[in-house]
Structures are given as structure tokens and as C-alpha cells.
Amino acid sequence: MGSLPAPEAYDVVVIGGGFGGIYSLNHLRGLGFATHMFEAGTGLGGIWHWNCYPGARVDTETPVYQLYAPELYDTWRWKERYSGRDEMVDYFNHIADLWDLKKDITFSARVTKAHWNQAECRWDLTVSTSTTSGTKESIIHCKAVVFCTGFASKHYTPPFAGMDQFNGVMSHTALWSEDIELKDKRVAVIGTGASGVQVVQEVAPIAKQLTLFQRTPNMALPMGQSLRDDEWDKVSKTQYPEQVEKMKTTYAGFLYDFDPRKTFEVSEEERVALFEELFHKGGVYFWLGTFSDVLKNKKANDLAYDFWRQKTLARINDPVIAEKLAPKVAPHAFGTKRISLEQDYFEQFNRETVDIVDLNDDPVETFTSKGIKTKTGEHEFDVIVLATGFDSVTGGLTQIDIRGVDGTTVQDKWAKGVWTHLGMTTAGFPNMFFVYGPQAPTAFATGPQCAETQGKWIGETLSYMREHGYNSIQPTPEAEAAWKEHVNITAEEGLFKETKSWYFGDNIPGKARESLNYMAGLPQYRKKCAEAAEHGYKNQFILA
Ligand code: NA7
């Protein structure tokens, strides 16, 4: 792949400054490609830049949730087991300084169009840059483009009736502005995903009154938060190389994996003992370190749910509220929607000032100038927090006008379902790669590990093209059909597919229902990626 002259033209443009983006920029630059990043926000961090709502925090513990370069690890000191949003932003800036990234990044620059130019064998990008004097559009050319737009960059707001009538402050969690005042306010929170849970536990203690509008209870697990002291830091740094090797072998890239035993292979005492142990370890041990059949066998799953329920009920004083938060009949199999971590979420409902509306019994009829009117009456608020999620996994790509060889858009190609090869490329869109997107381990792996795995593969692929004089690469339609089948067969295995969730696109009206993630785990994914590259990418890719 020959070079194009900078600054209007690059070998590779990276879009988005989250983990995928910073890793790719540094890696590709290191391989000698003229690489530039455009980031729509004013700073680095991706979701950690945008999601500055109160209580925003990582659900994966340190030291797992980070990039694995020794120079980064050695020079960074984590403060807590689960980092808060501000610490993550500091971490990104630390990396940017260490790797001297900012000289190759344009901030406040949103790529609105990416059109493949067949005659010139390049991508023509339209970049909209905001400055104090207005917005400017530029056309940028590049040989290859790597979309690092993440799995949660297009927020979703349900079309509630009368939303424009509300006279108070209303914000989606992903568009939060740090000057929104919540102390002594009457606050509504809609949504019970990770964002809703975090907002509730952070804001309930300071709000005059808080009402949670819940459609599905979150089977949240205790976070087990703790400070990382100097001793931890010292030991952790010495263990780092060994830990990195271990993480490469586990399903999601954690330091632990599922227990190989099945639930009914052990006695009741042994089962309860393991459940207790995992629950008290905190984090997602009880989800991803449990018996290997809990997410596959309904009877095993019921036992896990019941254990979680009993633990949760014990924390809530009012039995009516307790039944809403941890109902006798599970709304779905345990762990088949994204498990969130909580610190004192359930205790917040013991406050006089905190209330819960179960939207299944008491649905929203309309927003009003003063608040929200449900079937049973009007609730008045000063602030409404929309913790209603994202057009997850695909939205970051389909919101951009991306056109391939024959002018077809990604939106059109994926209108009835996603087609990719290896969750990184799609036929008809040469030299286009995406990181942390659909049909990859995205939601079932730690972000940094997924970003590194994919970033490395993309770097190897571009290097191969350069070495062998190829100008373009795209998957064959057969390869992507086979990948889709493999992704779907893999998703058939567990209980996940029976549950409505954003894992399957269920949260967005009209979105095709299918597994948006590759669910066979990171080690298996790496194997598939390596196999595809073997023998010069033959049979799976078209190189020209
Ligand atoms: P999530 O996990 O998608 O949560 C969104 C929440 O919003 C969820 O509880 C939804 O209820 C709720 N929702 C969505 N539409 C509605 C309507 N129309 N009425 C009421 N409630 C609604 O987003 P988060 O921001 O919390 O987290 C996103 C991911 O980021 C998270 O999983 C982590 O990986 C990090 P539902 O459950 O569908 O009934």
C-alpha cells in the first residue's frame, strides 16, 4: 500500500478516540503508516469522555481494564478497584502524553461521510470541525479507514409523548453536562441499565426526591469496591506480565474464567459455598466465574437467580418495593442481560425520598410541562435523567454516511441484519475496518483487549498489503455469510437469545433481531482471525 501525502491525505484515518482509537493510532503509526485520528469530542476517552453523568464508573476491575503496554502500566497508578469516569479520562490523557498522540489527532472533528472512491482506490471523508467561529467541512483522503466508534456512541431516547413540553432540565446520560444541578432537586431516572443504576445510587442521597421508572429490574451484583493502596500497586506491577498471559486465555479477557464444573455435578452444600464465595468476591465473579452451565441450563440458572434474589431482598425494607426490584418470577434468565455492578443501589430504596414506578403496571402516558404522567397520575420533577441506552454495537457506524464500491450505504446493507467478516470488515467496502463493532466479541470481552486484538490484526493486514503490493482488501461475500452463520450458531448455545436485550438489537424499534456479538470468547475469536490471515488471506478476502 503506497503512501498518500499528508496532511489532507493519509495512509490510514482512525475515527474515534476511545480504547480502539488510541491503540490503533499508536500501533499503525508505529508500523510506519501515516495515520491521523478524528475525534468528535473535545477530549479522549470515547464513552468515558461523553458519559460524565453522576456516578459513571467502570464495571471491569483494575488492572484488567487497561491497555497492556508495559510502559503504560509501569507509569500509571490506579486508585480504586473500579475506576470512576474522571480517572479513566486522566488515564487516557496519560497514554496520550506517553505515546505523544495528540499531534496526530484533530478534536471536535466529526466524520459525517465516508465514501469509497473506486477510481482513486481511496476513501474520501467529509469531516465537520467545530471551532469558536463556526463549523467547517473538509474533505480528507485516505487509503484505509478504521472506525473506532465504539459500541455505545449513538444514544437512544425513546419517543415518549409530550417530551418537548417538559419545562425542567432533561438529559440523556450519554449527553450529560457537568453543570446539571441535582442537589435538592426532584429527579426522575428512566432506565435501569448500568447508567440508571449508577445515577440512582449517586443521586438518591442528595436529591430532594428521586423516582426510578423501571421497565426491567437489573440483577445487579455488588461491586466490592475498594481502594488500591501502595502495596497493591507494587504487587500488581510485579505480577503484570504473568497476568497478561493469563488474560489471553480466558473467555472475556479477565483474570478468571467459568468454573468447569456443572451446577448439578456438585452437592447443594458445594454449590451454595461456591455461590457465596463468588458473590462476596464482588464484581462479575458471580456472572462469569460461576458453574459453566449457569448461562446455558435453565434449571441451573434458576438457582443462581434465586440466590441473587435472596441476597437482594435482604437489603430492601419494604416488601412491595423489594418485589419490584427482585421479583419472585425472574423477568428473564439470570445474566442474559448485561449485569451491572452496584455499591448501595438497593439500599437507596429504603429512603423515604426514593420511589419506584414499575412501568409494566403503570406505563408512561405523556411527559407534561411539570413532569411525567403515568396511568395512575402525574409526577412532578425538576430534572429528568434519560438512562435509556444506545443503538448499541451498530449505531456508531450506521449513523455515518458510509458508501462502498457501488454507492451502497452500510445502513442499506445492514437494514435487515449485519454482514461482516470477523466483525472487522464488510464486503463491498474495501479498506474499511471497524473495531469494537458488530459480530465481534465486543460486549463479551473487555474493551481494551478487544481493541488490541483487532488493532493488531488490522495492522498485520495493512502491513501484508504494503509488503505484497496490494492496494485494497475486502472480504468475499461467502466468507461473511459463513461468519454470520458461525456468529449465529454460537449465539444459539446459551440462554441469551431467549431474552430481549440490546445484545440482540431488541431495544431499538425496527432493528433486525440477531446476535450483534461474537459469543464464543476472545481466545476462539483470535484463532479465527489468525486462520483468516493464514496463506495470504486466500479464500476469505479479495486482495487487489
Ligand atoms: P442500557 O443497558 O441499554 O439500559 C437502558 C435502559 O433504558 C434499560 O433499563 C431499558 O429498559 C430502559 N429503556 C429503554 N427504553 C425504554 C422505554 N421506552 N421505557 C422505559 N425504559 C426504557 O443502557 P446503559 O446506558 O445503562 O448501559 C449501556 C452499556 O454501557 C452497559 O450495558 C455497559 O456495557 C456500559 P429494558 O431493560 O430494556 O426494559
Does ligand 1 have an atom closer than 6 angstroms to the CB of 195?
Answer: yes
CA of 505 to the centre of ligand 1 (A): 12
Instruction: Give the residue from 303, 280, 282 showing the smallest Cα distance to 291.
Output: 303
Q: Kindly indicate the confidence band of residue 174, based on its pLDDT and cuts at 50, 70 and 90.
A: very high
Last residue of a domain, one of 386, 416, 447: 386
Determine, yes or no, domain membership for 90.
no
Give yes or no: residues 419 and 381 share one domain: no
Q: How high does pLDDT run on average in the chain?
A: 96
CA of 386 to the centre of ligand 1 (A): 9
Q: Kindly indicate the confidence band of residue 9, based on its pLDDT and cuts at 50, 70 and 90.
A: confident
Q: Kindly indicate the confidence band of residue 2, based on its pLDDT and cuts at 50, 70 and 90.
A: very low
Give yes or no: residues 284 and 379 share one domain: yes
- Arithmetic mean of pLDDT, 306-313: 98
- Residue to mutate (ligand 1; options 190, 332, 507, 508; most atoms within 8 A of CB): 507
Collect all residues with Cβ–Cβ distance below 8 Å to 492 and sequence separation of at least 6: none
Does ligand 1 have an atom closer than 6 angstroms to the CB of 171?
Answer: no
- Arithmetic mean of pLDDT, 269-292: 97
Instruction: For residue 432, give its domain range.
Output: 7-44+101-154+391-543
Does ligand 1 have an atom closer than 6 angstroms to the CB of 150?
Answer: no
| pLDDT tens digit sequence for 42-85 | 999 999 999 999 999 999 999 999 998 989 999 999 999 999 99
Q: Counting beta carbons within 10 angstroms of the beta carbon of residue 399, is it exposed (0 to 12), middle (13 to 18) or buried (19 or more)?
A: middle
Whether 382 and 169 have beta carbons less than 8 Å apart is answered as yes
Strands 371-374 and 377-380: antiparallel
Determine, yes or no, domain membership for 309.
yes
Counting DSSP H helices and E strands in the chain, the numbers are 15, 20
Residue nearest to atom 12 of ligand 1 (CA): 191
DSSP of 232-284? HHHHHHHHHHHHHHHHTTSSSSSS---BSS-GGGS-HHHHHHHHHHHHHH-TT
Residue nearest to atom 25 of ligand 1 (CA): 389
Q: Give me the count of residues in the chain.
A: 544
DSSP of 116-129? EETTTTEEEEEEEE
CA of 156 to the centre of ligand 1 (A): 9
- Residue to mutate (ligand 1; options 213, 287, 338; most atoms within 8 A of CB): 338
**Residue 523, SS3?**
helix
Does ligand 1 have an atom closer than 6 angstroms to the CB of 387?
Answer: yes
Give yes or no: residues 275 and 350 share one domain: yes
Does 429 score more than 80 pLDDT?
yes
Whether 305 and 298 have beta carbons less than 8 Å apart is answered as no
CA of 418 to the centre of ligand 1 (A): 21
Residue nearest to atom 38 of ligand 1 (CA): 507
| pLDDT tens digit sequence for 519-535 | 999 999 999 999 999 98
Sign of CA dihedral 39, 42, 43, 46: negative
Residue nearest to atom 33 of ligand 1 (CA): 194
Whether 251 and 279 have beta carbons less than 8 Å apart is answered as no
Determine, yes or no, domain membership for 507.
yes
**Residue 515, SS3?**
coil
Give yes or no: residues 256 and 324 share one domain: yes
| pLDDT tens digit sequence for 84-134 | 999 999 999 999 999 999 999 999 999 999 999 999 999 999 999 988 888
* DSSP at 456: H
Give yes or no: residues 34 and 122 share one domain: yes
Last residue of a domain, one of 386, 413, 430: 386
CA of 261 to the centre of ligand 1 (A): 32
- Containing H/E element for 287? helix 285-288
- The cell numbers describing 360, all together, are 409494566
Q: What is the pLDDT of residue 3?
A: 44
Separation of alpha carbons 17 and 162, rounded Å: 35
Give yes or no: residues 473 and 533 share one domain: yes
Determine, yes or no, domain membership for 174.
no
| pLDDT tens digit sequence for 400-426 | 999 999 999 999 999 999 999 999 999
Does ligand 1 have an atom closer than 6 angstroms to the CB of 505?
Answer: no
**Residue 302, SS3?**
helix
- Please work out, in degrees rounded to the nearest 5, the angle formed at the alpha carbon of residue 316 by the alpha carbons of 314 and 320: 115
Q: How many CA atoms lie within 13 A of 344 on its CB side?
A: 8
- The cell numbers describing 301, all together, are 440458572
Does ligand 1 have an atom closer than 6 angstroms to the CB of 190?
Answer: yes
DSSP of 367-395? E-SSEEEETTEEEE-SEEEE---BSTTTH
Give yes or no: residues 365 and 440 share one domain: no
CA of 330 to the centre of ligand 1 (A): 17
Collect all residues with Cβ–Cβ distance below 8 Å to 519 and sequence separation of at least 6: 441, 444, 487, 490, 491, 493, 494, 496
Residue nearest to atom 23 of ligand 1 (CA): 389
Determine, yes or no, domain membership for 396.
yes
Report how many domains make up the chain: 2
Give yes or no: residues 467 and 364 share one domain: no
Does ligand 1 have an atom closer than 6 angstroms to the CB of 158?
Answer: yes
Last residue of a domain, one of 356, 386, 416: 386
CA of 192 to the centre of ligand 1 (A): 6
| pLDDT tens digit sequence for 468-527 | 999 999 999 999 999 999 999 999 989 999 999 999 999 999 999 999 999 999 999 999
CATH at 434: 3.50.50.60
CA of 173 to the centre of ligand 1 (A): 11
Give yes or no: residues 465 and 374 share one domain: no
ipTM: 0.98
CA of 385 to the centre of ligand 1 (A): 12
Give yes or no: residues 301 and 258 share one domain: yes
- Residue to mutate (ligand 1; options 65, 85, 192, 337; most atoms within 8 A of CB): 192
Separation of alpha carbons 372 and 380, rounded Å: 7
Instruction: Give the residue from 474, 428, 427, 423 showing the smallest Cα distance to 453.
Output: 423
CA of 266 to the centre of ligand 1 (A): 36
Determine, yes or no, domain membership for 523.
yes
Give yes or no: residues 349 and 240 share one domain: yes
Report how far Cα 275 is from the mean position of its chain's Cα atoms. 27
CA of 190 to the centre of ligand 1 (A): 9
**Residue 501, SS3?**
coil
Give yes or no: residues 301 and 340 share one domain: yes
Does 146 score more than 70 pLDDT?
yes
Does ligand 1 have an atom closer than 6 angstroms to the CB of 502?
Answer: yes
Q: Kindly indicate the confidence band of residue 7, based on its pLDDT and cuts at 50, 70 and 90.
A: low
- Containing H/E element for 482? helix 477-492
Does ligand 1 have an atom closer than 6 angstroms to the CB of 191?
Answer: yes
Does ligand 1 have an atom closer than 6 angstroms to the CB of 359?
Answer: yes
Q: What is the pLDDT of residue 4?
A: 44
Give yes or no for a cis peptide into 438 (omega within 30° of 0). Answer: no
Collect all residues with Cβ–Cβ distance below 8 Å to 329 and sequence separation of at least 6: none
Determine, yes or no, domain membership for 211.
no
Place of cell 444514544: 155
Determine, yes or no, domain membership for 72.
no
Between the two ends of the chain, the Cα-to-Cα distance in Å is 10
Does ligand 1 have an atom closer than 6 angstroms to the CB of 194?
Answer: yes
Collect all residues with Cβ–Cβ distance below 8 Å to 518 and sequence separation of at least 6: 423, 439, 440, 441, 442, 444, 487, 490, 525
Cβ atoms < 10 Å from Cβ of 150: 29
